[in-house]
Amino acid sequence: MPELDLRRQVLADNAVAAEALRQRFAASRTLVVNLISSPGSGKTTLLEATARELAGRLSLAAVEGDIATERDAERLRRVGLPAHQILTGGACHLDARQVARALGEAAFPPHDVLFIENVGNLVCPTSYDLGEHFKVVLLSVTEGDDKPFKYPGIFSRAAVTVISKVDLLPHVAFDLEAVREQVAVLNPEAELLLTSAVTGEGVQRWCSLLAERRAALGG
């Protein structure tokens, strides 16, 4: 089978598994968020802050995708967020079957919101539907303001763009308006949030967004 046909087949198989996940999430009224970014943009740190902010209001769980190490799942468990680590070996993204298997193994207590923290990579995770309600892309201000147009796939597909580490804005050259304009071109519907794990900026707004979207599922 030539490479392109094989890729189509892999994505078609993934779509079937993603649809099964979507039905499962709909039945349990679980809001599912697929977090995608470069390595080190602050996905796990945002989830730590989210767990603290939403404690007692919404119940959370997380599936963590990494090439190697259990570090991220351990970090989340330390803040009371049940987390299951998927080790992909060499693979540069999660797929829907891995997520289904992880949910079977994790046996999470009932939860309102499931976070799927993808492998740190702005490219590969973009094409793989994990049955989520929406994708979130994180871009830290230290990565530069040229990234949306350089990685248009994820910025056009993410319902929410989180600009993270805004506490570092005074120390780096980062044109926030340029990023806003690129995101508006790629995805006019996208919400753009600014966050800082250091100052706490934006965390409440992010959590309100999650609470509203979870409430919209009813139940």
Chain contacts with its own copies (rule: CB under 8 A): 1, 3, 6, 10, 38-41, 66-69, 71, 90, 92, 119-124, 127, 140, 142-144, 146-147, 149-153, 165, 167-168, 171-172
Closer residue to its own copies, CB minimum distance, 59 or 88 = 88
Closer residue to its own copies, CB minimum distance, 67 or 79 = 67
At closest approach, how far in Å is the CB of 34 from its own copies?
A: 18
Closer residue to its own copies, CB minimum distance, 6 or 55 = 6
At closest approach, how far in Å is the CB of 93 from its own copies?
A: 9
Token pair recorded at residue 196: 């800082």
At closest approach, how far in Å is the CB of 88 from its own copies?
A: 9
d(CA 11, CA 16): 9
Closer residue to its own copies, CB minimum distance, 30 or 195 = 195
- Rounded to 5 degrees, φ, ψ at 67 are -65, -45
d(CA 75, CA 47): 10
Closer residue to its own copies, CB minimum distance, 43 or 133 = 43
At closest approach, how far in Å is the CB of 216 from its own copies?
A: 32
Angle, helices 203-215/43-54, rounded to nearest 10 degrees: 70
At closest approach, how far in Å is the CB of 98 from its own copies?
A: 14
At closest approach, how far in Å is the CB of 45 from its own copies?
A: 9
Closer residue to its own copies, CB minimum distance, 14 or 30 = 14
